[in-house]
Structure 1
Amino acid sequence: MNELWLGASAESADYIFLLPNKPEFPPHFLTKDFTNADVATLIEVNGNHWRKIFTIMAKLAVPDDSTWRTFRDVDLLERVGIAFSVDQIHNFKGIVFIVGKTFESVYPVPDHAELIGDKHQAKISLPYIWCPYLDYRQFPNSLIEALRECILEK
């Protein structure tokens, strides 16, 4: 597999986020294996947009939600895998966040999926969670909290 992958491997990740868009990388990153990329560098290169993406991921994946900032900056890419191709997630046994609408043709939402949220919604049929793009306009804290509660119950 020579597709871009960020963060924890599929074997060690607590969660995987399947994203439709890839971040930019500094010129010195010459390999497709970015498992050692760090959040601070990626935010520095990509700006506020990727800071928001990493923040939402951290709020969803952090074991104790009072420490999400530290988790984002230090542990996120040690505990979360980020994939950009559906081929990368076929063998993962944990929870996969399918972000945005891009991959719904390959992973359609089943009719029995549980709807979470009010105005902003996600759908759950574990091990998959179909969720909005990781931007606060589409994915506010109220949806993050509802999803965390649902995930922790399961």
Structure 2
Amino acid sequence: MAAQNATAIGLGDSCAGLRVYIANRPPMAEYTDLRSVQPLHSGEIELINRACGNGWRKVFNVYAKLLYALDTQQYVYTRHAGSWQQYREQHLLQAASSTALLFSVPELQPVAETVHIIAGRTHAKALLDAGLPAQFNWQNHEFAVDQHNRVLVCPYFDYRQLNNEKLAYLARQIKVLDER
């Protein structure tokens, strides 16, 4: 299990091994003043989708699809539900899910089982400008890796930006991190 990040702000498991960082949070009153990582409850993703629109539906769908693209020998997400849709509704970002969607700056403490994913090149550059101590090796204009800190940069979690082909590429990059 990954170490708890005391200053992390977002949704999900505070000890998550797979941490996705995005620049914005759902524009709902219950998330405006978050000061820690708050696990979601069953049905809460659907409430966010209804209140905040299709953009958030895409974020949650892409996150769940990524989990199902990962190596099943290393990651057990597929053992919890029969499909990525079921996982999204029954487990994603809930307590003990080992998943988090964070709105804060990553705290980079290399832990073997923690993977940090920054969604969006613009967000990654803003984090670097704000002092994120990462050394990215850009694989192409959309993907980067800091192997030492176990950080990946990928397109934003949206079907058009992170399509199935790019999602598979991201899953392979996570596997490469785990092999080192």
TM over 0.5: yes
Q: Select which of 67, 90, 100 maps to 1:74.
A: 90
Runs of 4+ in 1 over 4 A off after TM superposition: 27-31
Deviations 1:114-142 (A, max 9, x none): 627xxx73222231001111112211110
Q: Is the 8 A contact 1:83 1:89 kept in 2?
A: no
Q: Is the 8 A contact 2:25 2:31 kept in 1?
A: no
Partner-residue secondary structure (3-state), 1:64: helix
How many residue pairs match? The answer is 146
Q: What do you get for the CA RMSD once the two structures are aligned?
A: 3.0
CA distance in 2, matches of 1:96, 1:14: 8
Gaps of 5+ in 2: 1-5, 69-76
Q: Select which of 78, 83, 94 maps to 1:64.
A: 78
Q: Which amino acid aligns with 2:107?
A: I
Partner-residue secondary structure (3-state), 1:76: coil
Q: Is the 8 A contact 2:11 2:37 kept in 1?
A: yes
Q: Label 1:69 to 1:109 Cα distance change in 2 as closer, same or farther (>3 A).
A: same
Q: Percent identity?
A: 25
Q: How does 1:1-154 map to 2 (within 5 A)?
A: 4-9=9-14, 11=15, 13-25=16-28, 27=29, 32=34, 35-37=38-40, 38-62=44-68, 63-64=77-78, 67-77=83-93, 78-86=97-105, 89-91=107-109, 93=111, 94-100=114-120, 101-104=122-125, 105=128, 106-107=131-132, 110=135, 113=137, 115=139, 121-126=142-147, 127-153=150-176, 154=178
Q: Label 1:95 to 1:81 Cα distance change in 2 as closer, same or farther (>3 A).
A: same
The TM-score normalised by the length of structure 2 is 0.67
